[in-house]
Amino acid sequence: MALPIMAKATAVWLVDNTTLSFKQIADFCGLHELEVNGIADGEVGQGIKGFDPIANKQLTQDEIDKGQASPRHKLQLLHNPAADGEQKRRGPRYTPLSKRQDRPASILWLVKFHPELTDGQISKLVGTTKPTIQAMRDRTHWNIANLQPIDPVALGLCRQLELDAAVAKAAAKAAKDGTTISDEERLKLVSTEQSLQMNAETTLPSNMAGLESFTLADSPEEEKEELVVDADSLFNLPKAGGDDEDDS
């Protein structure tokens, strides 16, 4: 649903100048009903100047009259041709200054737990650049040693629906192209119980291939046992030149 510009200021004006219900104002402005109630009580929106939606071509007086006459009536926002395509924004999203310091941790989380996501998808989710993402993949970021992966949804950098949609799109593309992720990446995505039940052959490093058939019978221990010398025999060796001494 399209929302009016300066939604909270519009809600302030509607609370002060109409008898619309809190729910009607909340639905129209995209706010919570309790937030509108707080505006009416003076606890929310202090210092915000009301924004007249009639003068700014967002509502008509007839629409407000209909809403005041019927509490079930939903206010309809006037069509603004200048707003067409506004929701279809391209490129990375804007990240507030207060959250920009959290972006590297969120990028590291996405790269680690969702390697199927492309750089473009990660860029749109958290509002970053492709060189930064590549530095995270290569672990060449200047602060990589101090970073801990954190879910971008928990940080408020993107919504769970957006992340799920990006992951589903990447998985569908991978299935269509017939590409698969490596064993190392797959182990990052499965649970502990699943990884313990996986076939050992799939997790055996390639440089150890062939060692699984090695047995003790193949070891050279038997040859070592044949070469063992009795220590007592070393002290009972015949003396050199003993026969010559007897003759004398």
Q: What average pLDDT does this structure show over 218-237?
A: 53
**Percent of the residues in the chain that have a pLDDT greater than 90, as a whole number:** 21
Closest CA to 173 of 218, 134, 121: 121
Q: Characterize 210-240 residue by residue with b for buried, 16 or more Cβ atoms within 10 angstroms of its Cβ, and e for exposed.
A: eeeeeeeeeeeeeeeeeeeeeeeeeeeeeee
- Output the pLDDT for position 98: 66
Q: Read off the tokens for 1.
A: 């649903």
Residue type, 35: E
- Output the pLDDT for position 118: 92
Look up tokens 């408020």; give the residue: 156
Quick check: 49 pLDDT over 70? Answer: yes
Q: What is the pLDDT of residues 141-183, one digit of tens each?
A: 999 999 999 988 888 888 888 888 888 888 888 888 766 555 4
What does the alpha-carbon distance between residue 147 and residue 44 come to, in Å, rounded to a whole number?
37
Closest CA to 75 of 85, 57, 56, 62: 62
Q: What average pLDDT does this structure show over 51-59?
A: 88
How distant, in Å, are the alpha carbons of 24, 127, 194 from that of 33?
9, 31, 45
Model confidence at 13, pLDDT cuts 50, 70, 90, reads very high
Among the residue ranges 115-124, 125-134, 152-161, the one predicted with the least confidence is: 152-161
Q: Is pLDDT larger for residue 125 or for residue 84? A: 125
What does the alpha-carbon distance between residue 214 and residue 78 come to, in Å, rounded to a whole number?
78
Q: Read off the tokens for 61.
A: 């007086």
**Percent of the residues in the chain that have a pLDDT greater than 70, as a whole number:** 63
Q: Read off the tokens for 92.
A: 């990375």
Instruction: Report the chain's mean pLDDT, rounded to a whole number.
Output: 74
Look up tokens 């046992």; give the residue: 225
Q: What is the pLDDT of residues 61-118, one digit of tens each?
A: 999 999 999 988 998 888 765 544 444 455 556 666 667 788 899 999 999 999 989 9
Closest CA to 173 of 162, 185, 165, 163: 165
- Output the pLDDT for position 219: 45
- Output the pLDDT for position 44: 79
Among the residue ranges 1-10, 46-55, 118-127, 130-139, the one predicted with the least confidence is: 1-10
Quick check: 186 pLDDT over 50? Answer: no
How distant, in Å, are the alpha carbons of 6, 29, 70 from that of 61?
19, 17, 14
Q: Is pLDDT larger for residue 156 or for residue 214? A: 156
Quick check: 14 pLDDT over 90? Answer: yes
- Output the pLDDT for position 122: 92
